[in-house]
Structures are given as C-alpha cells and as structure tokens.
Structure 1
Amino acid sequence: MSHKGFNAYNQEQFFTNYFKRRERSDSPNNAIEGPMIFEMLGDITGNSILDLGCGDGSFGKDLIQNGATEYIGVEGSEKMVEAAKANLKTLNGKVIMDTMESYPYPDKAYDIVTSRFAIHYVSDINQLFDSIHNSLKDNGKFIFSVQHPLTTSSFLSKQSGEKRENWIVDNYFLDGEREEPWIDHIVVKFHRTIEQYFTALRDNGFTILELREGNPKRQHFSSEEEFKRRQRIPVVLAFACEKSK
C-alpha cells in the first residue's frame, strides 16, 4: 500500500520509526538541512512566520525561541499535529490541522513562509507558490527545502537497502509521481527538476535570492565516514526567495 502526503505519518509504526531516524545526530535533517535553513533565515526577530508541513512543531519552537513573534504551523497529519501542540503549548505558537494545498491563505499576513522537506509531496506547485506569494507582506521571504531532484528521479538504487552507497539518476526530465520505499512503507513523492522549481518561483512573482544544495560541513557530523558519504551526492535542495514588488 502506498501513502500520499501526510498519510504515512498517521501510521503508528511509520511515525515511531521516522523519529528514530530523524533524531540521529548525523541524519540529513540535523547535519545538513537544519543548519542550512537557519543560515538562510538569518535574523527573524519580530517576524510573523507561516510554516507549511510543520511536522511535530520542533522547528516552530526554535523559531519562537529565536525571536519570531508569531508562528503558525500547518500540518495534515493528526499524529503530527498532536505532537506539535505538545511542543508549542507554553509558547506563542499555533498549529492548524490542514494541508498546504487547502489552507486559506490570508493576504499579506506573514513576513516569512517556510517549509522543510514537505513540498515534494505536493502535485501542483504553481498554485501553491501563488498562494504563498499572496500571503506574504511586501518584501516577505519564502524559504523552503525539498528532497534533491537527483535523488527523487529514481529510487531503483534503494533496492540495495536504505543506506545507499550508489545512486541511480534516471528519467530526470520526466516529472511526476514517484513511489519511494521508505521506512518499510511506500511513500508517494513528486519529482521535478531544479529548473522547474526555479521557473515556478519566478513565474509566480518571486525573486530567487539564494539556491543551496546542502553542501555538508564537517562540524555538523559526529561520524567522519558519514560526512564523506554525504559528500558524494546532494540530498537537499533549498531556495530563499523574496516577494517581488
């Protein structure tokens, strides 16, 4: 059975095993993507932030503790929403159970919109980017990460196991659904090229300020072996964008 979007996270075993993997010190979330996103955000003091696909709210907790005055997380998984509310219960943060596709985006409401490793679950990024653009204040920022297209083009190399030593890149220019074997389940993601992300952002009124591919830094890894392995292929693609005037 395959799962689309947030549905996989409502499976008890998947939910538990996902956090075991994510909480590893050398996981891509902690050693690559997390430090990079915070670098791209910079000073967030006084900002209102909308976080799409907020997961367990731990990112929101960090944002509030680093100076954000308003945090709204949008999450479709019931189990993730429950975890996020627990993480944010003593802080000035709010979690809404909804999908990023159907969330009713208010006009010019946020200084920053973020999304971490979630937009690759969305089939129509043009509609999403248009909604995000409208919800940002003038000169507002949109900062997000997705699984790198070199790794979503094909999952054939996963037949050798989760900890791959080689990666097959195939059908790169054929965008659309991909079924990834992940944590003993099949999860549907949407593959698109770097160019397609760039074009969709530009066509929906964004100026691209920064494009990052998650170049690993040794200080973020406890294992020299894992650091060297992560230098072989990018696993993260991230953009920092500004709402064009």
Structure 2
Amino acid sequence: MKQNIYDHPEFFHQYQKLRQASYNFNNLLEQPALKSLLPNLTDLQILDIGCGMGEFAYYCIENNARHVTAIDVSKNMLAIAQREHAHQNIDYYLQAIEDFHVAPNSFDCITSSLSLHYIQDFRAVIRNIASMLRPGSLFIFSVEHPIVTARKTMEDNWIYDSSGRRSHYAMDHYHDEGIRERTWFVDGVVKYHRSMSTIINTLIAYDLTIEKMLEPLPDSEAIPKLPSLEKEHRRPSFLLIRARK
C-alpha cells in the first residue's frame, strides 16, 4: 500500500471535521475550478484518481457520465464513498494509481483532485495515465500549487509584521524538488514538491497538450463565507490543468 495518511485515526477524524464544515477551501475554491474544466460528461467513461469520499464520482454520474471507475488508497474514504455515494455505475476500488493498470485507451476522461502531490514517481504515473486515455480525451487534475509546496518547512510560510498582519509570503527551495514533510493534524504528512516546468514538461513528454491552466481565485460570494480565502489574492493555493491526448 502506498502512502496513506488518511487511514491514520487522528488525521482522518480531523480531516472529516474539516470537510464536513459548511464552507472550506475544497467546496468554495478547488472543486468549482475543477468542475469548470470538465467537458460535457454525457456517456463518458471516467477514471477518478484519489476519489476520497466519492462526492465527485457521484457528481459525474449525476451529470450523465456512463461509468466512473473510482480509486483510492484509503479504506476509511472508500467506506464512506460506498455508503454515501454508491451507484450502480460507479465502481470503487482500494487501489493506488501507481499500481492501477487497465488496457490502453480505456477512458474518455481521467480526473484527480489534490492527490498527485502525494505521488513520488510523477513521471511513471503520467505515463500510465496517458496510456489509459483514448485519443482526443482529457486529463484534468488539481495539485497544491508549487509555490505552496516549495519551502521545505511547508508550515505557515506567511511572514507577519509587528502588528500581526500578513506582510508577505516566503518561498524558498523552489528548484530543489522532492519530498516535503509537514505537520497537518498529525506529524509526518509527506508530499512531493515539483516545479511548474517539471509538471508541464512531463505532460508534454507523454503527448498531452495543455489546454488550460487555473490558479483559482475565490468569487465575491466566497470570501464572506470563509474570510481566510482572501489571502488567495496574494498567493495561490492550487494549480489546475486540463490536458488533451
């Protein structure tokens, strides 16, 4: 089993509380941006990598996708997905993308929401994804922005002035790619930093054409719901890419 912090009891408890909040960064910022990149889903065969609790897979079926193959490494996540977002046209699998293999040209669209920054061998995963896509089909994904993952501490990298207001965001070690370890609910959460050029050039190397990139900003209705989103105007949290084979 690949890295699986989501089955750590304390981490999962705290993560559930975060996601169950009425307003969070996922539902106000990342998910609207991801969905804006989707094609018409009618009759499409979809692979959802890091499907979590199954909300997005179910959204695809609600929007007329033919079938969703949804994979995740977390038993906790999949238990909720199968209980709360079950559907006859969704198949959930306890599977890491590094170990997931199907016949070439199997999917019309492959999606991944905030999972690829947990992957050590990005190049191998992109090679596998490109193989599974049918010609002309789409790969749509989000990751933590390289500006966020760059600094090796990966803690609160805002610098504050003497009155406690944010002065600026500190970024360092941008081209020193590789493992980053941080405390997020628990110690020892491992992610991987890659530069923007590495991400883009890896996609290009496997014949994936970049169609659109997003560094999403909150809309005018989101900030009153979650005031901490205001800092997105100074430093992006997420990078989203739509690429076509």
Indicate the larger mover: 68-77 or 214-223: 214-223
**Percent of aligned positions with the same letter in both sequences?**
28
Cα distance between partner residues in 1 of 2:23 and 2:119: 27
Cα distance between partner residues in 2 of 1:122 and 1:12: 22
Which residue does 1:232 correspond to in 2?
Answer: 234
Q: 1:87 to 1:209 in 2, by over 3 A?
A: same
Q: 1:103 to 1:224 in 2, by over 3 A?
A: closer
Q: 1:117 and 2:119 equivalent?
A: no
Which residue does 1:33 correspond to in 2?
Answer: 30
Q: 2:157–2:170: 8 Å Cα contact kept in structure 1?
A: no
**CA apart distance, 1:215:** 2.1
Equivalent position amino acid for 1:83 in 2: I
Equivalent position amino acid for 2:105 in 1: K
Q: 1:121 to 1:5 in 2, by over 3 A?
A: farther
**CA apart distance, 1:91:** 4.0
Q: Which has the higher contact order (CA 8 A, sep 6+)?
A: 1
Which residue does 2:136 correspond to in 1?
Answer: 139
Q: 2:144–2:239: 8 Å Cα contact kept in structure 1?
A: yes
Which residue does 1:51 correspond to in 2?
Answer: 48
List aligned pairs for 1:72-111, cutoff 5 A.
Answer: 72-111=69-108
List aligned pairs for 1:1-245, cutoff 5 A.
Answer: 6-154=3-151, 156=153, 158=155, 165=166, 167-223=169-225, 225-243=227-245
Cα distance between partner residues in 1 of 2:103 and 2:223: 40
Cα distance between partner residues in 2 of 1:224 and 1:21: 13
Secondary structure of the structure 2 residue equivalent to 1:41: coil
Q: 1:125 to 1:67 in 2, by over 3 A?
A: same
**CA apart distance, 1:159:** 5.5
* Count of residue pairs brought into register by the alignment: 238
- Please report the TM-score for the alignment, with normalisation by the length of structure 2: 0.90
Cα distance between partner residues in 1 of 2:181 and 2:2: 12
Indicate the larger mover: 129-138 or 89-98: 89-98
Secondary structure of the structure 1 residue equivalent to 2:125: helix
Which residue does 2:162 correspond to in 1?
Answer: none
Equivalent position amino acid for 2:129 in 1: I
Secondary structure of the structure 1 residue equivalent to 2:15: helix
Q: Which runs of 5+ in 1 are unaligned?
A: none
User: RMSD value over aligned CA atoms?
Assistant: 2.1
**CA apart distance, 1:6:** 4.5
Which residue does 2:161 correspond to in 1?
Answer: none
- Please report the TM-score for the alignment, with normalisation by the length of structure 1: 0.90
Cα distance between partner residues in 2 of 1:77 and 1:26: 23
Cα distance between partner residues in 2 of 1:169 and 1:24: 29
Q: Which runs of 5+ in 2 are unaligned?
A: 159-164
Equivalent position amino acid for 2:95 in 1: D
Q: 1:229 to 1:24 in 2, by over 3 A?
A: farther
Listed one character per residue, the Cα deviations across residues 168-227 of structure 1 (whole Å, up to 9, x for unaligned) are 211011000000211133210000011110000000110000011112222334437334
Cα distance between partner residues in 2 of 1:99 and 1:122: 10
Q: 1:8–1:14: 8 Å Cα contact kept in structure 2?
A: yes
Cα distance between partner residues in 2 of 1:106 and 1:25: 40
Indicate the larger mover: 200-209 or 22-31: 22-31
Q: 1:146–1:236: 8 Å Cα contact kept in structure 2?
A: yes
Q: 1:61–1:91: 8 Å Cα contact kept in structure 2?
A: no
Secondary structure of the structure 2 residue equivalent to 1:189: strand
Secondary structure of the structure 2 residue equivalent to 1:196: helix
Secondary structure of the structure 2 residue equivalent to 1:84: helix
